[in-house]
Amino acid sequence: MPRHDPPSGQPRPEAEHVNDRIRDLMREPASRTRAARYADLLTAWIEATRDQGEEELAA
């Protein structure tokens, strides 16, 4: 789930962009290439959401 900016409540563009790419990828047939790209996108998503506060993780 993308991280939201407290003032606006909107997803951060980086995480939203990665989520869009993941959704597009999931429309493709399953393959080893798709699996590798998915792993790369998960890493990108972690980077985009890395600075979440501990209070958000506990919620």
Query: What is the reported pLDDT for 57?
Result: 58
pTM over 0.85: no
pLDDT band, residue 56 (cuts 50/70/90): low
In a domain, residue 38? The reply is yes
Does residue 55 surpass a pLDDT of 50? no
Owning domain of residue 37: 13-50
User: pLDDT per residue over 18-45, tens digit each?
Assistant: 999 999 999 999 999 999 999 999 999 9
Into how many domains does the chain fold?
1
Q: Determine the distance from the C-alpha atom of residue 25 to the mean position of all C-alpha atoms in its chain, rounded to a whole number.
A: 13
In a domain, 4, yes or no: no
Query: Measured at the alpha carbon of residue 45, what is the angle toward residues 26 and 49, in degrees to the nearest 5?
Result: 145
Residue 43 lies in a domain: yes
In a domain, 3, yes or no: no
In a domain, 8, yes or no: no
Q: Identify whether 20 is part of a domain.
A: yes
